């Protein structure tokens, strides 16, 4: 796992099927309900920084930061394609 530089928290992003994970399936894909349910399920130490939907699909990209963000996306939200994101300065530092 990449260690963030300069005290930044790690950011993670993944695809969430907005009709299937148990924590949001009661929403039946309703974007307002899904947003509220994800925010309510976010554990201490994790911050959801963005939830955006793919055009015409019940699928959202969720970005979260903090030490437990990757686990939250993968385990609680059953996100697929979870990747770590870097700021421009982190990427510059990484490149050397």
Residue 56 lies in a domain: yes
Q: Judge if pTM exceeds 0.75.
A: yes
Residue 47 lies in a domain: yes
Residue 83 lies in a domain: yes
Residue 55 lies in a domain: yes
46-75, pLDDT tens digit by residue? 999 999 999 999 999 999 999 999 999 999
Number of Cβ atoms within 10 Å of the Cβ of 31:
13
CA angle 1, 7, 78 (to 5 degrees): 40
Q: Could you list the residue range(s) of the whole structural domain that residue 26 is in?
A: 13-95
DSSP 16-77: EETTSSTTTGGGTT-HHHHHHHHHHHPPTT-EEEEEEEPTTSSEEEEEEESTTHHHIIIIIS
């Amino acid at each position: 796992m990449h260690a963030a530089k300069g005290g930044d928290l790690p950011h993670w992003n993944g695809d969430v099927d907005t009709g299937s994970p148990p924590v949001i399936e009661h929403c039946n894909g309703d974007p307002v309900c899904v947003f509220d349910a994800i925010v309510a399920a976010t554990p201490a130490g994790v911050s959801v920084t963005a939830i955006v939907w793919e055009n015409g699909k019940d699928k959202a990209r969720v970005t979260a930061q903090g030490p437990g963000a990757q686990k939250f996306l993968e385990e609680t939200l059953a996100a697929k394609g979870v990747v770590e994101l870097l700021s421009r300065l982190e990427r510059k530092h990484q490149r050397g």
